[in-house]
Amino acid sequence: MAYVRHKIIKGHKYFYLVEGYREGAKVRQRVLLYLGASEPSERVKQQLKKQYSKPKKTGLGDDTAKVDAADTRMKEGVYAAYEYFGLKVRHNLTSGGTNGAVLLRNNKPYAVSLIKFPNTSTMVHELGHVIDFILQDRAKVVRATDERFAHIYSNDTKSLILQEESAALARQKYASGYSRLLEISEKKGRDGHLAQREEETLSKYKKFFTNYAETQVEGFANAFALYLSDPDLAEEIAPRYCEVIFTLISDQPDMQEVVDSLLHSPAF
């Protein structure tokens, strides 16, 4: 069972996700994630506990079977959504390092590429990209009906709008990587310098978050995927994304129907 605890170091509180484990007669504790100097909200704590706790054994294995069945239904729903939007689906990613891709011609998605056995969250994430680009293609209609949200499709990709939520979504998704980034950054702040290897790690992690994970295009797909798996958490950490995405989708009846069918699937 994972839980959040804090340590006080030189008068400052630092938060960790930890779990207890048995070693002979003794119960010990190991750190799973460093969470930084700010206390996470209750909702985030619950999500982390859920994410990092091992499933309870029932003796019958029925919980695992239920999770597998729900996962399979969600995957079937996502494949149906790809088909509905007229996308070719190829399991042609064989080189290491890439989980999924969406291909566009004239700004319209026409194919999704996946690894041979993709996990459900990757498939939903790629569907998020597809919906983002289809909405962009229809944006002139959306803009005409609701000017409040026109800003999300600004051509200025360096825009800071929604940046904060994109970052929060990335930090939730890549919690262990962000934990490591925080740990090294704070060490640098404390000691004033880092060993060369740590300096390189810090630079790589920062680049991953800044150039990729925290961008708005990823923010959209991350918010969409998180909403389908945990709507309450999505609304807590990315309320504006959720409002924008689902208001835009509600203006597109065909898209709303596809998303509704996924929302009514059990959480993956």
Partner 1 sequence: MTDKDQNSVPAGFEEITIVVDPSPEMIERYDEWEIDQRASFKAAGVTILSVDGSIFHGYYDPDTVDPDILPS
Nearer to partner 1, 40 or 177 (CB): 177
In eight-state DSSP terms, residue 41 is P
3-state class of 31 per DSSP?
A: strand
With binding defined as CB under 8 A, does residue 163 bind partner 1? Answer: no
Minimal distance, residue 159 CB to partner 1, in Å: 12
For partner 1, the binding residue among 41, 64, 92, 154 (CB under 8 A) is 92
Helix (H) or strand (E) holding 42: helix 42-52
Q: Does the footprint of partner 1 cover residue 94 (CB under 8 A)?
A: yes
* Range in contact with partner 1 (rule: CB under 8 A) among 27-35, 188-196, 208-216, 260-268: 208-216
Least Å from the CB of residue 10 to partner 1: 29
Measuring CA to CA, which residue among 6, 11, 9, 36 is closest to residue 172?
Answer: 36
The answer to whether 140 contacts partner 1 (rule: CB under 8 A) is no
Tell me which residues in 37-76 interact with partner 1 (CB under 8 A): none
**Strand (E) or helix (H) holding 74:** helix 62-84
Contact characters 142-161, partner 1, x per CB under 8 A: -------------x-x----
For tokens 């950490």, name the residue. 237
Q: Which residues contact 212 (CB under 8 A, 6 or more apart)?
A: 218
DSSP for residue 144: H
Among 141, 207, 257, 261, indicate the residue that binds partner 1 (CB under 8 A): 207
Phi, psi of 206 (to 5 degrees): -60, -40
Nearest-approach distance from CB 27 to partner 1, in angstroms: 31
Identity at 39, one-letter amino acid code: E
14, 16, 34, 205: residue in contact with partner 1 (rule CB under 8 A) = 205
